[in-house]
């Protein structure tokens, strides 16, 4: 009797530990997908640190750049390079809670909510009164995201780019494990000072058109464990023990009933 039941027990444990293909594969409806043309541009937020460098022939731009050394304050942040290497300290502008920075000569400028291109255009217009054809370089130096949950390498990542997608962020974290819930990925985002919680179904191709396909500064991505992982947390560690014990019991019964 027990020998007849054992195969069914084995099948039960195998199937309860498997994850269906449709729960794992991304972009499952590509044949019916329509791209809405999500032309995303990162917008500057409070607490961003901006590196802005103005260039012009000679010393024309000198007064419009932060000094290489020694200035710190509530509106500026110093990030030190390795002093032993002889490299200078880079000054960056801190965007305050109201979206303003304090700029040399030009004074207080509102940059919150603007794209890099819009800020460069604004600076170019203001600087043209003082400098002919200035060259303006701008970069957000503290663009960070966090990825946690059912991924291979959870952590916080500082990016050299200001344009990153949700799949790219997951790839940086080693992608989701087989136990990650792909149809309910959480993106936590601060919008106008309020924390929002947004769930994305990455098994459907149309998530590309979601406002959360492109990540923003300080977004947090969390991958929930699926039912298989939750169930296995209680059953999984004991499955091999149960199967081994059952096999031994079957063998003993077979010997004793000969």
Where along the chain do its domains lie?
Answer: 2-17+228-256, 21-41+143-225, 49-140
Higher pLDDT, 40 or 196: 196
Report the distance separating Cα 250 and Cα 208, nearest Å: 54
Whether the predicted pLDDT of 163 surpasses 50? yes
185 and 203 in contact (C-beta within 8 Å)?
A: no
Report the distance separating Cα 194 and Cα 192, nearest Å: 6
From 4-13, 51-60, 180-189, 220-229, the region with the lowest mean pLDDT = 4-13
Cβ neighbors of 132 (< 8 A, separation 6 or more) are 56, 60
- DSSP assignment, residue 129? T
3-class state of residue 67 by DSSP: coil
Whether the predicted pLDDT of 139 surpasses 90? yes
**Per-residue pLDDT tens digits for 224-242:** 998 888 877 665 555 555 5
- DSSP assignment, residue 160? S
The CATH code of the domain at 21-41+143-225 is 3.10.560.10
The CATH code of the domain at 49-140 is 3.30.1950.10
H or E segment to which residue 229 belongs: helix 227-256
Cβ neighbors of 208 (< 8 A, separation 6 or more) are 33, 35, 38
169-185: average pLDDT: 95
State the pLDDT at residue 245.
61
SS3 of the chain: helix, strand, coil, percent, to 5: 30, 25, 40
**Per-residue pLDDT tens digits for 77-118:** 444 444 444 456 678 999 999 999 999 999 999 999 999 999
State the pLDDT at residue 252.
62
**Per-residue pLDDT tens digits for 21-48:** 566 677 777 666 666 666 889 999 999 9
Whether the predicted pLDDT of 49 surpasses 80? yes
């Amino acid at each position: 009797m027990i020998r007849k039941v054992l195969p069914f027990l084995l099948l039960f444990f195998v199937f309860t530990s498997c994850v269906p293909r449709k729960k794992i594969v991304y972009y499952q409806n590509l044949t019916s997908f329509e791209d809405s043309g999500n032309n995303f541009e990162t917008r500057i937020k409070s607490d961003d640190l901006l590196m802005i460098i103005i260039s012009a022939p000679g010393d024309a731009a000198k007064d419009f750049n932060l000094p290489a050394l020694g200035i710190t304050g509530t509106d500026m942040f110093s990030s030190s390079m390795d002093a032993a290497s002889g490299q200078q300290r880079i000054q960056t502008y801190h965007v305050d809670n109201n979206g303003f920075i304090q700029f040399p000569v030009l004074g207080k400028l509102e940059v919150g909510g603007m794209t890099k291109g819009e800020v460069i255009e604004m600076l170019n217009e203001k600087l043209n009164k003082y400098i002919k054809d200035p060259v303006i370089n701008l970069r957000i130096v503290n663009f960070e995201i966090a990825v946690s949950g059912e991924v291979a390498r959870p952590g916080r990542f500082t990016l050299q780019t200001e344009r990153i997608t949700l799949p790219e962020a997951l790839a940086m974290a080693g992608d989701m494990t087989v136990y990650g819930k792909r149809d309910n990925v959480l993106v936590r985002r601060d919008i106008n000072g309020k924390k929002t919680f947004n769930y994305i179904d990455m098994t459907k191709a149309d998530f590309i058109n979601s406002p959360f396909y492109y990540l923003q500064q300080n977004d947090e991505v969390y991958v929930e464990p699926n039912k298989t992982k939750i169930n296995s947390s209680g059953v999984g560690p004991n499955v091999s023990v149960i199967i081994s014990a059952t096999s031994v019991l079957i063998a003993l019964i077979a010997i004793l009933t000969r």
